[in-house]
Amino acid sequence: MATVVHSRADRAIELFHALSDETRLEIIELLRKGERCVCELTDTLDAAQSRLSFHLRVLKDAGIVRDRKDGRWVHYELVPDAFEEIETLVTEMKPRVVGQATNCCA
């Protein structure tokens, strides 16, 4: 399998898109408590399986969650490294010098 190389901007877009939906944020909140079976997520969120599968796929494609098959059930958990990556991206976006305007035309 080939490794996909993302630019920083592409990666930020992928991660922030995955975090930009209320249902996906609810899934993340549930998974903060530990691994959950897809059936638990479906019941807790009162969501149709197809709708939930779509949101889980977005989170999985972004590397925010991973799955584990156990017989006919699929269990999901958060990927801690993804949140470290998000934190780094946000930190790098902060202004370097706060409160000092630069005058480019002086």
Contact assessment for residue 65 and residue 18, using Cβ atoms and an 8 Å cutoff: no
Rounded CA separation 102/99 (Å): 10
**Domain boundaries 9-88, corresponding CATH code:** 1.10.10.10
Ordered DSSP codes for 15-56: HHHHTSSHHHHHHHHHHTTS-EEHHHHHHHHT--HHHHHHHH
- Which pLDDT value is given to residue 16? 95
Amino acid at 102: T
Contact assessment for residue 77 and residue 31, using Cβ atoms and an 8 Å cutoff: yes
Q: Whose CA is closest to 19, among 102, 78, 99?
A: 78
Task: Tell me which residues of the chain have a pLDDT lower than 70.
Answer: 1-6, 98-106
pLDDT per residue as tens digits for the range 21-40: 999 999 999 999 999 999 99
Domain boundaries, the chain: 9-88
